[in-house]
Amino acid sequence: MAHSSNVIAHPNDPVPVIRDRALWMRRRAFKMVYDAQLGHPGGDFSAIDAIATLYFGVLHYDPKQPELPGRDRFIMSKGHATGALYTALCAAGYFEESWLDTYMQPQSKLNGHPNRNYVPGVETNTGPLGHGVPVALGIAIAGQITGANHRTYVLTGDGELQEGSNWEAAMTAGHRKLENMTLIVDRNRLQQGAGTEETNSLDPLDGKFRAFGWHVEIVDGHDHEALFTALSAPCKGRGKPLCVIANTVKGKGVSFMENQASWHHGVPNAEQFDTAMKELV
């Protein structure tokens, strides 16, 4: 793999790089799920474009110094989408690609949910939904108090927003005017087994965040340029936390996976794997 690099300074036009990384991440994540016969490929594929935009266009970090004090923080609250997270960390240079071959195997560092004790670049252990936004809130408050320049980003699934802890955190972030905090909502409108609006309606999601004191941007969650523009916008002086609602497609990029709730945790057979690899070009 030719993607590992120290990404402290980004190119002037990172969109081609982001697009390249996102395609590699999809192909590699799907192979990981196929080899392990475990995973959450539908959610991986809806979130990959936002995560690739962060790591290869927006975040400031040094993979050789994962605990660098001035780094930006990224919390993957949607902790089951580890195919997306691990491939990003690998492509960013945090660990060798050979690690990906061990995905979900006994004693592998790459578990079904990320563990910061095993994986460099993971800021906090996630998996129980509703925990990531409160953790990101605490990090952002600490940065506000100390006057730090780093920014805190957190990505949630939309079904995850049915957890009340997220709204307690959202209320506090708005109250404290945490302009250093950005929440990305992977709005694919599907959760395990059904649509979000069938389960517990979230709309109008943008209006709810605005009512809690957030600045809201709604973007195509697979448009790398739109994602980059929204996520890299200066935060100083905004006076509000930022919520980016990324409208996405579960299973984006593979025809038989797209908009299918069954691929929340579906795993491919050999024929499906071959079909996906032909489509992901």
**91-117 pLDDT per residue, tens:** 999 999 999 999 999 999 999 999 999
Indicate whether 204 pLDDT > 90: yes
Indicate whether 205 pLDDT > 70: yes
Quote the longest CA-to-CA distance of the chain. 54
pLDDT of residue 206: 98
- Mean pLDDT, rounded, for 124-133: 93
Indicate whether 5 pLDDT > 70: no
- Mean pLDDT, rounded, for 11-38: 96
* Confidence bin at 9 (pLDDT 50/70/90): low
pLDDT of residue 12: 80
Contacts of 57 (CB under 8 A, 6+ apart): 10, 14, 15, 17, 18, 224, 228, 231, 232
**213-222 pLDDT per residue, tens:** 999 999 999 9
* Confidence bin at 3 (pLDDT 50/70/90): very low
pLDDT of residue 10: 73
pLDDT of residue 1: 36
Q: Where are the domains of the chain?
A: 15-279
- Mean pLDDT, rounded, for 173-179: 98
Indicate whether 150 pLDDT > 50: yes
What average pLDDT does the structure give for the chain?
95
For every residue of the chain, which 3-state class applies, written as one string? CCCCCCCCCCCCCCHHHHHHHHHHHHHHHHHHHHHHCCCCHHHHHHHHHHHHHHHHHHCCCCCCCCCCCCCCEEEECCCCCHHHHHHHHHHCCCCCHHHHHHCCCCCCCCCCCCCCCCCCCCCCCCCCCCCHHHHHHHHHHHHHHHCCCCCEEEEEECHHHHCHHHHHHHHHHHHCCCCCEEEEEEECCEECCEEHHHHCCCCCHHHHHHHCCCEEEEEECCCHHHHHHHHHCCCCCCCCCEEEEEECCCCCCCCCCCCCHHHHCCCCCHHHHHHHHHHCC
pLDDT of residue 11: 74
pLDDT of residue 245: 98
pLDDT of residue 4: 37
CATH, domain 15-279, list 3.30.470.160, 1.10.260.40, 3.40.50.970, 3.40.630.10: 3.40.50.970
Indicate whether 192 pLDDT > 90: no
Which neighbouring-strand residues pair with 264?
none
Cα–Cα distance between 132 and 120 in angstroms, integer?
18
pLDDT of residue 252: 98
pLDDT of residue 233: 96
